[in-house]
Amino acid sequence: MTATEVDAKVRQRVAELAAKVLDGELLTREEAAWLFELDPAGSIHDVLYWANQIRTRYKGNNIRLCSIVNIKAGGCPEDCKFCAQSAHSKAPSPRYGVVDNTTLKKAADQARTNNVRALGLVAAWPEVKEGPVLEELCEKFRLLSLEYGVEPHASLGMIKNRKIAEKLKAAGVTCYNHNLETAPSFFPRICTTHTYADRVETIRHLKAAGIAVCAGGIIGLGETRRDRCELALALRELGADVVPINILNPIPGTPLEGTAPPTPIEALHTIACFRFVLPDREITIAGGRAVNLRDLQSWIFMAGASGLMVGNYLTTPNRPVELDLQMIRDAGLSPI
Protein backbone atom coordinates (compact mmCIF):
# COMPACT_ATOMS: atom_id res chain seq x y z
CA MET A 1 0.00 0.00 0.00
CA THR A 2 1.38 3.45 -0.82
CA ALA A 3 1.61 6.26 1.75
CA THR A 4 -1.21 8.06 -0.04
CA GLU A 5 -3.45 5.01 0.18
CA VAL A 6 -2.70 4.69 3.90
CA ASP A 7 -3.51 8.38 4.38
CA ALA A 8 -6.79 7.95 2.53
CA LYS A 9 -7.75 5.04 4.78
CA VAL A 10 -6.90 7.02 7.93
CA ARG A 11 -8.87 10.02 6.70
CA GLN A 12 -11.85 7.85 5.89
CA ARG A 13 -11.75 6.16 9.30
CA VAL A 14 -11.54 9.51 11.14
CA ALA A 15 -14.51 10.77 9.12
CA GLU A 16 -16.50 7.60 9.91
CA LEU A 17 -15.86 7.97 13.64
CA ALA A 18 -16.85 11.63 13.49
CA ALA A 19 -20.06 10.76 11.62
CA LYS A 20 -20.91 8.26 14.34
CA VAL A 21 -20.42 10.90 17.06
CA LEU A 22 -22.32 13.52 15.08
CA ASP A 23 -25.17 11.00 14.86
CA GLY A 24 -25.34 10.88 18.66
CA GLU A 25 -23.46 7.64 19.28
CA LEU A 26 -20.47 7.19 21.56
CA LEU A 27 -17.16 5.79 20.41
CA THR A 28 -16.33 2.30 21.66
CA ARG A 29 -13.16 1.81 23.72
CA GLU A 30 -11.40 0.35 20.67
CA GLU A 31 -12.42 3.23 18.43
CA ALA A 32 -11.30 5.78 21.02
CA ALA A 33 -7.95 4.01 21.46
CA TRP A 34 -7.38 3.95 17.68
CA LEU A 35 -8.01 7.70 17.49
CA PHE A 36 -5.84 8.61 20.47
CA GLU A 37 -3.00 6.48 19.14
CA LEU A 38 -3.01 7.97 15.66
CA ASP A 39 0.23 9.75 14.84
CA PRO A 40 -0.89 13.39 14.71
CA ALA A 41 1.83 14.22 12.20
CA GLY A 42 -0.20 12.67 9.39
CA SER A 43 -3.76 13.27 10.58
CA ILE A 44 -3.95 16.42 12.67
CA HIS A 45 -5.86 18.57 10.20
CA ASP A 46 -8.53 15.94 9.63
CA VAL A 47 -8.90 15.24 13.33
CA LEU A 48 -9.20 18.95 14.10
CA TYR A 49 -11.66 19.51 11.27
CA TRP A 50 -14.02 16.88 12.69
CA ALA A 51 -13.47 17.84 16.34
CA ASN A 52 -14.55 21.35 15.39
CA GLN A 53 -17.69 19.98 13.72
CA ILE A 54 -18.50 17.99 16.86
CA ARG A 55 -17.94 21.02 19.10
CA THR A 56 -20.23 23.13 16.93
CA ARG A 57 -22.92 20.43 16.84
CA TYR A 58 -22.98 19.88 20.62
CA LYS A 59 -21.76 23.15 22.12
CA GLY A 60 -22.53 25.82 19.52
CA ASN A 61 -20.23 28.82 19.28
CA ASN A 62 -20.10 29.79 22.93
CA ILE A 63 -16.87 29.58 24.89
CA ARG A 64 -17.47 29.34 28.61
CA LEU A 65 -15.00 31.26 30.76
CA CYS A 66 -13.94 30.54 34.30
CA SER A 67 -11.40 31.93 36.75
CA ILE A 68 -9.85 30.68 39.94
CA VAL A 69 -8.37 32.16 43.07
CA ASN A 70 -5.98 30.36 45.37
CA ILE A 71 -7.58 30.83 48.79
CA LYS A 72 -5.02 28.70 50.68
CA ALA A 73 -1.60 28.23 49.15
CA GLY A 74 1.40 25.96 49.50
CA GLY A 75 2.59 23.37 52.00
CA CYS A 76 0.26 20.58 50.91
CA PRO A 77 1.38 17.24 52.40
CA GLU A 78 0.42 15.30 49.26
CA ASP A 79 3.17 14.40 46.79
CA CYS A 80 1.57 15.10 43.39
CA LYS A 81 4.70 15.31 41.27
CA PHE A 82 3.58 18.13 38.99
CA CYS A 83 2.54 20.45 41.80
CA ALA A 84 4.58 23.39 43.06
CA GLN A 85 2.35 23.59 46.13
CA SER A 86 3.29 20.14 47.40
CA ALA A 87 5.45 20.22 50.54
CA HIS A 88 7.57 17.56 48.79
CA SER A 89 8.44 20.00 46.00
CA LYS A 90 11.41 22.35 46.08
CA ALA A 91 9.69 24.88 43.85
CA PRO A 92 9.34 28.34 45.32
CA SER A 93 5.63 28.74 45.93
CA PRO A 94 3.60 31.18 48.00
CA ARG A 95 2.32 29.89 51.34
CA TYR A 96 -0.64 31.40 53.16
CA GLY A 97 -3.71 30.36 55.11
CA VAL A 98 -7.34 30.91 54.14
CA VAL A 99 -7.66 34.39 52.64
CA ASP A 100 -9.88 37.10 54.13
CA ASN A 101 -13.05 38.41 52.53
CA THR A 102 -11.39 41.56 51.22
CA THR A 103 -9.10 39.43 49.04
CA LEU A 104 -12.06 37.35 47.98
CA LYS A 105 -14.11 40.39 47.00
CA LYS A 106 -11.20 41.71 44.96
CA ALA A 107 -11.04 38.41 43.04
CA ALA A 108 -14.81 38.44 42.50
CA ASP A 109 -14.71 42.06 41.28
CA GLN A 110 -11.89 41.15 38.90
CA ALA A 111 -13.87 38.20 37.53
CA ARG A 112 -16.96 40.38 36.97
CA THR A 113 -14.86 43.07 35.28
CA ASN A 114 -13.59 40.36 32.92
CA ASN A 115 -17.18 39.16 32.28
CA VAL A 116 -16.38 35.85 33.94
CA ARG A 117 -19.46 34.63 35.76
CA ALA A 118 -17.91 31.81 37.83
CA LEU A 119 -15.08 32.02 40.34
CA GLY A 120 -13.50 28.87 41.72
CA LEU A 121 -12.01 28.94 45.21
CA VAL A 122 -9.02 26.59 45.28
CA ALA A 123 -7.24 25.32 48.40
CA ALA A 124 -3.92 23.47 48.53
CA TRP A 125 -4.69 20.76 51.04
CA PRO A 126 -5.58 17.09 50.70
CA GLU A 127 -9.23 17.21 51.70
CA VAL A 128 -12.00 19.33 53.07
CA LYS A 129 -13.32 18.01 56.38
CA GLU A 130 -16.32 18.81 58.51
CA GLY A 131 -15.61 21.47 61.12
CA PRO A 132 -14.97 25.21 61.50
CA VAL A 133 -12.96 25.55 58.26
CA LEU A 134 -15.81 24.07 56.21
CA GLU A 135 -18.25 26.44 57.95
CA GLU A 136 -15.98 29.41 57.17
CA LEU A 137 -15.74 28.36 53.54
CA CYS A 138 -19.49 27.92 53.25
CA GLU A 139 -19.89 31.46 54.52
CA LYS A 140 -17.51 32.63 51.79
CA PHE A 141 -19.48 30.78 49.11
CA ARG A 142 -22.67 32.48 50.30
CA LEU A 143 -20.93 35.86 50.11
CA LEU A 144 -19.76 35.13 46.57
CA SER A 145 -23.22 34.41 45.24
CA LEU A 146 -25.37 36.70 47.38
CA GLU A 147 -23.15 39.77 47.69
CA TYR A 148 -20.20 39.63 45.31
CA GLY A 149 -22.23 38.60 42.24
CA VAL A 150 -20.31 35.56 40.99
CA GLU A 151 -21.23 31.90 40.77
CA PRO A 152 -19.28 29.99 43.45
CA HIS A 153 -17.20 27.08 42.23
CA ALA A 154 -14.78 25.14 44.43
CA SER A 155 -11.70 22.96 44.35
CA LEU A 156 -11.02 21.95 47.92
CA GLY A 157 -9.48 18.52 47.55
CA MET A 158 -10.97 15.19 48.48
CA ILE A 159 -14.41 14.81 49.99
CA LYS A 160 -14.82 11.69 52.08
CA ASN A 161 -18.48 11.85 52.94
CA ARG A 162 -21.59 12.94 51.18
CA LYS A 163 -22.69 15.28 53.98
CA ILE A 164 -19.78 17.61 53.15
CA ALA A 165 -20.81 17.76 49.51
CA GLU A 166 -24.39 18.47 50.58
CA LYS A 167 -23.20 21.33 52.83
CA LEU A 168 -21.29 22.87 49.93
CA LYS A 169 -24.32 22.53 47.71
CA ALA A 170 -26.51 24.22 50.33
CA ALA A 171 -23.95 27.07 50.52
CA GLY A 172 -24.43 27.68 46.80
CA VAL A 173 -21.52 25.76 45.22
CA THR A 174 -22.70 24.80 41.75
CA CYS A 175 -19.57 23.14 40.41
CA TYR A 176 -16.62 21.41 42.11
CA ASN A 177 -13.29 20.67 40.49
CA HIS A 178 -11.52 17.45 41.35
CA ASN A 179 -9.28 16.18 38.57
CA LEU A 180 -8.49 12.54 38.02
CA GLU A 181 -5.16 13.94 36.74
CA THR A 182 -4.25 10.96 34.57
CA ALA A 183 -5.13 7.37 33.68
CA PRO A 184 -5.95 5.05 36.58
CA SER A 185 -3.00 2.81 35.66
CA PHE A 186 -0.55 5.75 35.49
CA PHE A 187 -1.77 7.53 38.63
CA PRO A 188 0.62 5.78 41.08
CA ARG A 189 3.55 7.21 39.07
CA ILE A 190 2.26 10.71 39.76
CA CYS A 191 1.08 10.51 43.33
CA THR A 192 1.65 8.01 46.16
CA THR A 193 0.01 9.73 49.13
CA HIS A 194 -3.54 9.11 47.95
CA THR A 195 -5.12 6.85 45.39
CA TYR A 196 -7.08 7.13 42.21
CA ALA A 197 -9.94 5.46 44.08
CA ASP A 198 -9.94 8.37 46.59
CA ARG A 199 -10.44 10.74 43.69
CA VAL A 200 -13.26 8.67 42.22
CA GLU A 201 -14.97 8.54 45.63
CA THR A 202 -14.96 12.35 45.80
CA ILE A 203 -16.59 12.57 42.40
CA ARG A 204 -19.28 10.10 43.44
CA HIS A 205 -20.13 12.18 46.54
CA LEU A 206 -20.39 15.30 44.41
CA LYS A 207 -22.68 13.56 41.93
CA ALA A 208 -24.86 12.25 44.75
CA ALA A 209 -25.17 15.78 46.18
CA GLY A 210 -26.15 17.22 42.79
CA ILE A 211 -23.06 19.40 42.30
CA ALA A 212 -21.74 19.63 38.76
CA VAL A 213 -18.44 17.81 38.46
CA CYS A 214 -15.44 19.48 36.88
CA ALA A 215 -12.86 16.72 36.45
CA GLY A 216 -10.07 16.38 33.95
CA GLY A 217 -6.35 15.99 34.03
CA ILE A 218 -2.90 16.97 32.90
CA ILE A 219 -1.16 15.80 29.77
CA GLY A 220 2.60 15.65 29.42
CA LEU A 221 3.31 13.82 32.70
CA GLY A 222 5.08 11.02 30.83
CA GLU A 223 1.90 9.13 30.08
CA THR A 224 1.24 7.40 26.77
CA ARG A 225 -1.48 8.27 24.27
CA ARG A 226 -3.25 5.11 25.43
CA ASP A 227 -3.18 6.48 29.02
CA ARG A 228 -4.82 9.69 27.82
CA CYS A 229 -7.53 7.62 26.21
CA GLU A 230 -8.02 5.71 29.47
CA LEU A 231 -8.44 9.06 31.26
CA ALA A 232 -11.03 10.32 28.76
CA LEU A 233 -13.02 7.09 29.02
CA ALA A 234 -12.88 7.15 32.83
CA LEU A 235 -14.22 10.71 32.82
CA ARG A 236 -17.01 9.69 30.46
CA GLU A 237 -17.92 6.78 32.71
CA LEU A 238 -18.01 8.97 35.82
CA GLY A 239 -20.15 11.57 34.10
CA ALA A 240 -17.82 14.58 34.41
CA ASP A 241 -19.75 17.66 33.33
CA VAL A 242 -16.75 19.90 32.72
CA VAL A 243 -13.42 18.44 31.63
CA PRO A 244 -10.43 20.72 32.18
CA ILE A 245 -7.33 19.78 30.23
CA ASN A 246 -4.03 21.09 31.54
CA ILE A 247 -0.75 20.77 29.67
CA LEU A 248 2.18 20.25 32.00
CA ASN A 249 4.29 23.29 32.68
CA PRO A 250 7.24 21.53 34.34
CA ILE A 251 8.00 23.99 37.10
CA PRO A 252 11.63 23.99 38.30
CA GLY A 253 11.88 22.37 41.72
CA THR A 254 9.03 19.90 41.13
CA PRO A 255 9.93 16.25 40.48
CA LEU A 256 8.76 16.69 36.88
CA GLU A 257 11.18 19.54 36.24
CA GLY A 258 12.89 18.89 32.90
CA THR A 259 10.08 16.69 31.54
CA ALA A 260 9.77 17.29 27.80
CA PRO A 261 6.36 18.88 27.17
CA PRO A 262 4.06 17.63 24.40
CA THR A 263 4.42 19.52 21.12
CA PRO A 264 1.58 21.90 20.26
CA ILE A 265 0.32 19.45 17.63
CA GLU A 266 0.40 16.56 20.11
CA ALA A 267 -1.55 18.63 22.66
CA LEU A 268 -4.11 19.72 20.05
CA HIS A 269 -4.53 16.13 18.88
CA THR A 270 -5.26 15.10 22.49
CA ILE A 271 -7.81 17.89 22.98
CA ALA A 272 -9.53 16.83 19.75
CA CYS A 273 -9.65 13.19 20.84
CA PHE A 274 -11.26 14.26 24.12
CA ARG A 275 -13.93 16.06 22.07
CA PHE A 276 -14.63 12.88 20.09
CA VAL A 277 -14.96 10.81 23.28
CA LEU A 278 -16.88 13.43 25.30
CA PRO A 279 -18.90 15.14 22.58
CA ASP A 280 -21.39 17.04 24.74
CA ARG A 281 -19.18 17.85 27.75
CA GLU A 282 -17.64 21.24 28.42
CA ILE A 283 -13.96 20.84 27.51
CA THR A 284 -12.00 23.64 29.12
CA ILE A 285 -8.37 24.39 28.48
CA ALA A 286 -6.60 25.37 31.68
CA GLY A 287 -2.97 25.56 32.83
CA GLY A 288 0.04 25.31 30.54
CA ARG A 289 -1.78 26.69 27.51
CA ALA A 290 0.37 29.68 26.61
CA VAL A 291 3.73 28.13 27.41
CA ASN A 292 3.06 24.91 25.48
CA LEU A 293 0.84 25.98 22.58
CA ARG A 294 2.48 29.33 21.94
CA ASP A 295 1.19 30.76 18.61
CA LEU A 296 -1.24 27.87 18.22
CA GLN A 297 -3.34 28.78 21.27
CA SER A 298 -6.35 29.76 19.18
CA TRP A 299 -6.35 26.30 17.56
CA ILE A 300 -7.81 24.85 20.76
CA PHE A 301 -11.29 25.81 19.56
CA MET A 302 -10.75 24.04 16.25
CA ALA A 303 -9.63 21.09 18.38
CA GLY A 304 -13.01 21.14 20.13
CA ALA A 305 -12.43 23.18 23.28
CA SER A 306 -15.59 24.91 24.50
CA GLY A 307 -14.23 26.55 27.62
CA LEU A 308 -11.24 28.56 28.71
CA MET A 309 -9.70 29.34 32.06
CA VAL A 310 -8.72 32.99 32.06
CA GLY A 311 -6.76 35.05 34.55
CA ASN A 312 -3.85 33.74 36.57
CA TYR A 313 -3.34 30.07 37.38
CA LEU A 314 -2.54 28.82 40.88
CA THR A 315 1.20 29.37 40.89
CA THR A 316 1.93 30.76 37.43
CA PRO A 317 0.68 33.89 35.68
CA ASN A 318 -1.55 33.79 32.60
CA ARG A 319 -1.63 36.41 29.87
CA PRO A 320 -4.03 39.39 30.17
CA VAL A 321 -7.69 38.41 29.92
CA GLU A 322 -8.28 40.98 27.14
CA LEU A 323 -6.00 38.98 24.84
CA ASP A 324 -7.98 35.81 25.49
CA LEU A 325 -11.31 37.55 24.88
CA GLN A 326 -9.92 38.99 21.65
CA MET A 327 -8.68 35.54 20.59
CA ILE A 328 -12.16 34.05 21.13
CA ARG A 329 -13.90 36.81 19.19
CA ASP A 330 -11.33 36.70 16.40
CA ALA A 331 -12.14 33.01 16.00
CA GLY A 332 -15.81 33.95 15.42
CA LEU A 333 -16.86 32.61 18.83
CA SER A 334 -18.62 34.18 21.81
CA PRO A 335 -17.18 34.27 25.31
CA ILE A 336 -19.88 33.62 27.92
Scanning residues 103 to 142, which ones bind ligand SF4 (CB under 6 A)?
A: 124, 126
Query: Measured from the CB of residue 316, what is the shortest distance to ligand SF4 in angstroms?
Result: 13
Query: Measured from the CB of residue 91, what is the shortest distance to ligand SF4 in angstroms?
Result: 11
* Closer of 24 and 253 to ligand SF4 (Cβ): 253
Binding piece for ligand SF4, criterion CB under 6 A, among 32-40, 82-90, 204-212, 299-307: 82-90
Beta pairing, strands 242-247 & 282-285:
parallel
Which residue in 51, 46, 36, 47 sits closest to 223, CA to CA? 36
Is residue 216 within 8 Å of 244, Cβ to Cβ? yes
* Closer of 75 and 265 to ligand SF4 (Cβ): 75
Query: Measured from the CB of residue 242, what is the shortest distance to ligand SF4 in angstroms?
Result: 18
* 3 state SS for 237-291: HHCCCEEEEEECCCCCCCCCCCCCCCCHHHHHHHHHHHHHHCCCCEEEECCCHHH
* Closer of 257 and 280 to ligand SF4 (Cβ): 257
H/E segment holding residue 151: strand 151-155
Any contact of residue 76 with ligand SF4 (CB under 6 A)? Answer: yes
Is residue 150 within 8 Å of 144, Cβ to Cβ? yes
Using CB under 6 A as the criterion, what x/- string covers residues 182-221 for binding ligand SF4? ----------------------------------------
- The dihedral through the CA atoms of 174, 219, 12, 34 has a sign that is negative
Query: Measured from the CB of residue 147, what is the shortest distance to ligand SF4 in angstroms?
Result: 28
Chain contacts with ligand SF4 (rule: CB under 6 A): 76, 78, 80, 83, 85-86, 124, 126, 157
